[in-house]
Chain A
Amino acid sequence: MMVEATGVSGHETPVAALIKDTFLALADDVRIDVMGNVVAQKKGEGEDDISIMLAAHMDEIGLMVTKIDERGFLKFIAIGGIDQRTLVAQEVIVHGKRELIGIIGMKPPHLMSPEETQVAVKIQDMVIDLGLSHDEVRQLVSIGDVVTINRKFIPLAGDFVAAKAMDDRAAVAVLGECLQVLKMIRHQADVYAVATVQEEVGLGGALVSTYRLKPHIGIAIDVCHGEMPGVPEQDTAPMGKGPNIALGANIHPKLYERLVEVAKEHNIPYTLDPLPGASGTDAWAMQVTRAGVPTALVSLPLRYMHTSVETLSMSDIKSTARLLAYFIASVDKSFVEGLLCY
């Protein structure tokens, strides 16, 4: 299962192999580029050579071992934006010479003063306990090894599901679903479905693959904050009510309009994300590649982002995939030319 596979930013090889296999049955050609992006190409019927790039990042946030202390405990740093509070009392997998289970533990409550319990534990004070001797650890673990949270995919009530790395593997699943739908509808444009690397540490994968592919349109599929208590309603999107479509500086206005038109035409529910500035997604990198690319951003509402229990509604994955497929089917050369008319 994609979310259970390992793929910390910069070390995406394991999950990339899995995704490549999945895409092989859905596309005409699948390659892995020099940076590790998985690029699946599905040709369109048109002779005009127009292409649409869809990007969903396959990397996840994680940890990296920085030191093995004299007793065999591991010190580590975060790769990507990790909330240190979500690390305590977790079971982790250290990807050393083999996969090792470890615990990021915490002092038991019996030994803590009331004041201590009010303060979050800092990542610099945490260690991973592998339950092995120093020598055993040295044989199996090296500094630079990556660490992920040990979490299986958890089905919840209705069609809600929780797992680690839903950000953004759920969007990679959308790419797969979209390619599936495209098998049954006609489209002029060539489609590049790209599972990008290193989004969480600076959008590097999207930057180089957009440069290489030179698409006429770029659409990033990412996640956005799903509604939950304690967060103002206007800063979140409702769960299970379809994809969240962004509008603002990072988005080409005509792409936004077309996506909304297509959603209405095909009765796909959707919500809007007014986004005046940086989107913090691959769309931000795609838009300013070479002499500029018209970009759009579509997101899956997700609760508890950047924890190991990211939660979303499966129906949102399906409706987002359909929206993208029908959008792709609606694109022809004159639409693409119109994108440069301001």
Chain B
Amino acid sequence: MKDLIKRVVETYGPAGNERRIRELLQSEIAPFVDEMRIDALGNLIALKRGGGKKLMLAAHMDEIGVMVTHIDKNGFLRFYPVGGLSPLTLLGNRVVFENGTVGVIGAEKLEAQKDLTLHKLFIDIGATSKEEAETKVGLGDVAAMMREFADLGKRLVAKAMDDRIACAILVEALKEVKHAAYDIYAVFTTQEEVGLRGARVAAYGITPDLGIAVDVTRTGDTPEAMVMDVSLGQGPTVKIRDSSLICTPSVRKFMEEVAVQNGIKYQLEVLEAGGTDAGAIQLTKGGIPAGVMSIPCRYIHTASEMVDYDDVLNGVKLLTHIMETEFKG
């Protein structure tokens, strides 16, 4: 599965610009699903029939990025973040545009380090004039982080583990599932990073009976970390709450039962700050029971997000068993 993960994380696809990652995912899942369609926001919605209730699974394919808002006379680019970005994680990093143009993030002079804000940064694509820059990029173009996948053995590191690792898991689960207990709508959503936007409209269109999002979550297992009882290597999590939703208790219970019944190691998760597609799904129409399975991940929203490979494999197992077990809540 590491090969799939590498391809999926390295593909370009910031929020609003998901075409390439969507095409890759389409080709991966095509042999394993009955139908596929793309909706008005670019969500990839795949249906795998199994009869029974409608289960919507969501993994977002968009990653964070930076959008060009101004090109100055010397060819430097000013930008706005697409999704949540800290200036600390951008400084000195490389970004890449859809057409392959590479840029470096530089900063204006600072009186003090604490004065560093996104507005003091710019992108240098090596152009020497506005005209030259305009041959390579345009206003409104978005660049993603540029970093290769690294296999550390038990641990894997890449940009966009949030949420491509979940996309890879969903792909694998679609391959693995034998007896689907639902009509499964596997949705690779768009624009989660800018406000759960893809999931919201996809859920309206599908109106599922149950919705489960797959995302990443923070850990509390690094030096002087924030308080959080989630660690790498302790299994995928069943989420209790984050800032976008309080998971429907019956769904959380169901997910825990599936894990226990199938001997899959898992952890419980309370995330203080951060939201997921399930938050949008839960409030669709008259309300939808919703839950989340997360993969613990260190250094989220940096160019080097780290997950544990066993957590990923257990995540595939748990998701596959969920797809094969009827939710009676």
Residues of A within 8 A of B (CB): 9-11, 13, 33-35, 64-68, 75, 77, 79, 124, 142-144, 198, 201, 204, 207-209, 211-212
Expressed in whole angstroms, the Cα–Cα distance for A35 and B220 within the complex equals 31
CB contacts (< 8 Å) of A79 on chain B: these are 241, 246
CB distance from A336 to the nearest CB of B (A): 22
**Which A-B residue pairs are the 5 nearest by beta carbons?**
A10-B246, A208-B287, A144-B240, A212-B286, A35-B287
Shortest beta-carbon distance from B168 to chain A in Å:
27
0/1 interface trace, chain B 282-295, chain A, CB 8 Å (1 if under): 11011111000000
Min C-beta distance of B213 to chain A, whole Å: 16
Asked if residues A75 and B249 are in contact (CB atoms below 8 Å), the reply is no
Q: Are B289 and A144 in contact (CB under 8 A)?
A: no
Whether B270 lies near A77 (C-beta < 8 A) is yes
Q: Which of A64, A144, A208 has the most B CB atoms < 10 Å from its CB?
A: A144
Q: Which of B220, B245, B270 has the most CB of A within 10 A?
A: B270
Q: Which residue of B220, B268, B282 is within 8 Å of A204 (Cβ)? A: B282
Q: A34 contacts which chain B residues (CB < 8 A)?
A: 286-289
A66 pairs with B272, CB closer than 8 A? yes
Contacts of A67 in B (CB 8 A): 220, 227-229
Checking B249, B270, B289 against A66 with a beta-carbon cut-off of 8 angstroms, the contacting residue is B270
Number of residue pairs A-B, CB distance < 8 angstroms? 64
Chain A, Cβ-Cβ closest to B288: A34
CA–CA, A68 to B227, complex, Å?
Answer: 10
Contacts of B289 in A (CB 8 A): 34
Closest to A210 in B: B286
- Shortest B3–chain A CB gap in Å is 35
A-B contact pairs, 27 of them (CB 8 A): A9-B246, A10-B241, A11-B249, A33-B286, A35-B287, A65-B270, A66-B272, A67-B220, A67-B227, A67-B228, A75-B227, A77-B270, A77-B272, A79-B241, A124-B227, A143-B229, A143-B268, A143-B270, A144-B268, A144-B270, A201-B246, A204-B245, A204-B282, A204-B283, A208-B287, A209-B286, A211-B285
Rounded to whole angstroms, the CA-CA distance of A165 and B283 in the bound complex is 24
Contacts of A66 in B (CB 8 A): 227-229, 270, 272
Give chain B residues whose Cβ lies under 8 Å from the Cβ of A13. Answer: 249
List 7 additional contacts besides A11-B249, A35-B282, A144-B240; criterion CB under 8 Å: A9-B246, A66-B270, A67-B220, A79-B241, A142-B268, A143-B229, A208-B285
Expressed in whole angstroms, the Cα–Cα distance for A192 and B220 within the complex equals: 45
Contact call A11/B287, Cβ cutoff below 8 A: no
Query: Do A207 and B246 contact each other (CB < 8 Å), given the known contacts A66-B270, A143-B229, A143-B270?
Result: no
What is the CB-to-nearest-CB distance from A283 to chain B, in angstroms, rounded to a whole number?
17
**B229's closest neighbor in chain A, by CB?**
A67
**B-side contacts of A201, CB under 8 Å:** 246
Question: In whole angstroms, how far apart are the Cα atoms of A75 and B248 in the complex?
Answer: 23
A33 to B287, CA, bound (A): 9
User: Could you say which residues of chain B place their CB within 8 Å of the CB of A207?
Assistant: 283
B265 → A minimal CB distance (Å)? 16
Chain A residues near B286: list those with CB within 8 A.
33-34, 208-209, 211-212
Contacts of B227 in A (CB 8 A): 66-67, 75, 124
Minimum CB–CB distance for A264 against chain B, Å: 38
Instruction: Point out the residues of chain B lying under 8 angstroms from A65, CB to CB.
Output: 270
Give the shortest distance, in Å, between A161 (CB) and chain B (any CB): 29
For the complex, give the distance between the alpha carbons of A317 and B288 in Å. 33
Q: How far apart are A141's CB and chain B's nearest CB, in angstroms?
A: 12
In the complex, A198 Cα to B288 Cα: how many Å? 14
Closest CB-CB distance, A174 to chain B, in whole Å? 24
CA distance A64 to B229 in the complex (A): 13
Q: Residue among A66, A201, A204 with the most chain B CB within 10 A?
A: A66
A77–B272 alpha-carbon span in the complex (Å): 7
Complex CA gap A142/B252 in Å reads 14
Query: Which residue of chain B has its CB nearest to the CB of A67?
Result: B229
Instruction: Report how far A208 CA is from B241 CA in the complex, Å.
Output: 19
Bound complex: CA A144 to CA B268 (Å)? 8
Q: Which residues of B contact A75 (CB under 8 A)?
A: 227
Residue of A nearest to B239 (CB): A144
Please report the C-alpha to C-alpha distance between residue A142 and residue B249 in the assembled complex, in whole angstroms.
14
Give, as a whole number of angstroms, the nearest-CB distance from A252 to chain B.
23
CB of B243 to closest CB in A, whole Å: 9
* Interchain nearest-CB distance for B280 vs A (Å): 11
Among residues of A, the one whose C-beta sits closest to the C-beta of B246 is A10
Chain A residue nearest in CB terms to B270: A66
Contact in complex: B228, A144 (CB < 8 Å): no
Tell me the nearest residue of chain A to B226, going by C-beta: A124
Check A208/B220 contact, CB under 8 A, given A64-B270, A66-B229.
no
